[in-house]
Amino acid sequence: MKHLLKMMDLSGQDIERILNLADALKLEQRQGVMRHPLKGKTLAMIFEKNSTRTRVSFEVGMYQLGGHAIFLSNADSQIGRGEPIQDTARVLSRYCNGIMIRTYAQETVDQLAEWSSVPVINGLSDQSHPCQVLADLMTVRERFKKLSGLKLCYIGDGNNMANALIIGGLKCGMSVSVACPEGYEPGAKSLEFALHAGGDFTLTADPKKAAEGADVVFTDVWASMGQEKETAARKKAFAGFCVNSELMKVTNSAMVQHCLPAHHGEEITEEVFEAHATEIFDEAENRLHAQKAVMELLMA
């Protein structure tokens, strides 16, 4: 593993290795054990979109591993003034030991990696959110002590989260079912993978069908970053795709996961969100442990 660019690049074994280290790092932190495998190392963090969790968990994670993180945004770096990504990659590679990027096109992440001589980590693109899905799989595994054989259901937009969950879930031997409104299906590459993965995959426009017997229910916002202008149209299209207590009744007393930020009362009711808040904030916490594992494996 040289970079973490998208979920598709990881094998089931890679995922297991990352989750095992993440569990160990979480335990170490709980026990107050300090290890500094990234002492003297620096991570550059490029943010072309907003963030709370990703920024804070990467920055805190680097600090805890003995290293340092630098925040770069479009507003105050030359990236925002059009410096080519291949030049940014070569410059940051001369100073830093790793680069995290949150951006729009997956091609930007891939190009950064192509020109970088240090590991690149995707902190969210329009196509994928691998760091989030590693934390998600870690949280589900903590609860059930396994992943294989569980039914993962995703209700909502076929976005970066849907793409990464389909691939991550299937690679871990889970049965995956997705409910999206017509016209908002996951990306072609994820669907192609799902159809050829040989696992148990269902795509439907019926949320109840997708949720039936599910062990874990995922959802995400209806309009992702960059789609703000489509908000009104999307609210209409996704009207029947709310994770509410009616939907939860058909699941196998499922746990609920949301990558956050959530729009309470849209993709998930306040009632379901609060009933599952511990699981959802465990998931947010696990971003820290999962990313520390990724950084240690890539950068130590």
Q: Closer to ligand NVA at the Cβ: 92 or 241?
A: 241
Identify whether the C-beta of residue 39 lies closer than 8 Å to the C-beta of residue 46: no
Least distance to ligand CP, CB of residue 94, Å: 27
Residues linked to residue 264 through DSSP beta bridges, in sequence order: 268
Taken in order 221, 20, 140, 8, the sign of the CA dihedral is positive
53 binds ligand CP (CB under 6 A): yes
65 scored as a contact of ligand CP (CB under 6 A) = no
Q: How far is CA 215 from the centre of its chain?
A: 19
Catalytic residue chosen out of the listed positions 3, 234, 258, 287: 287
Among 155, 172, 221, 259, binds ligand CP (CB under 6 A): 259
Binding mask 161-180 for ligand NVA (x = CB under 6 A): x-------------------
Please confirm, yes or no, whether 153 is among the known catalytic residues. no
Match 């500094």 to its residue by tokens. Answer: 36
Q: Which of 3, 53, 55, 102 is catalytic?
A: 102
| Whole-angstrom distance, CA of residue 147 vs CA of residue 175 | 9
Task: Yes or no: say if 122 and 4 are a contact pair by the CB < 8 Å rule.
Answer: yes
Q: CA nearest 133: which of 54, 215, 28, 223?
A: 54
- Which C-beta is closer to ligand NVA: that of 221 or that of 294? 221
Q: Taking the complex as a whole, how short is the minimal distance between the CB of residue 124 and ligand NVA, in angstroms?
A: 6
The only residue of 8, 21, 197, 260 in contact with ligand CP, by rule CB under 6 A: 260
Task: Give the C-alpha separation, 122 to 198, whole Å.
Answer: 27
Nearer to ligand CP, 53 or 276 (CB): 53
Which of 49, 75, 57, 81 is CA-nearest to residue 131? 57
Candidates 106, 122, 127, 132; binder of ligand CP (CB under 6 A) is 132
Report the residue number, 51 or 97, with the smaller CB distance to ligand CP.
51
180: annotated active-site residue = no
**Element (DSSP H or E) covering residue 126:** none
Instruction: Pick the closer one to ligand NVA by CB: 136 or 296.
Output: 136
* Binding test (CB under 6 A) with ligand NVA, winner from 163, 224, 257, 286: 224
Tell whether residue 191 is a contact of ligand NVA (CB under 6 A). Answer: no
d(CA 105, CA 143): 34
- Would you say 116 or 163 has its CB closer to ligand NVA? 163
Residue 234 annotated in active site? no
Do the beta carbons of residue 241 and residue 178 sit within 8 Å?
A: no
259 is catalytic: yes
* Partner from ligand CP, ligand NVA, none binding residue 52, C-beta < 5-8 Å depending on class: ligand CP
How far is the C-alpha of 152 from the C-alpha of 168, rounded, in Å?
Answer: 10
Contacts of 285 (CB under 8 A, 6+ apart): none
Give the number of residues in contact with ligand NVA, rule: CB under 6 A.
Answer: 9
Tell me the sheet residues that pair with 216. Answer: 152, 255
Name the segment binding ligand NVA (CB under 6 A); options: 144-152, 156-164, 210-218, 274-282: 156-164
Peptide bond between residue 261 and the one before it cis (omega within 30 degrees of 0) = yes
The residues assigned a catalytic role are 102, 129, 132, 220, 259, 287
Residues in the site for ligand NVA, rule: CB under 6 A?
A: 124, 159-161, 220-221, 224-225, 259
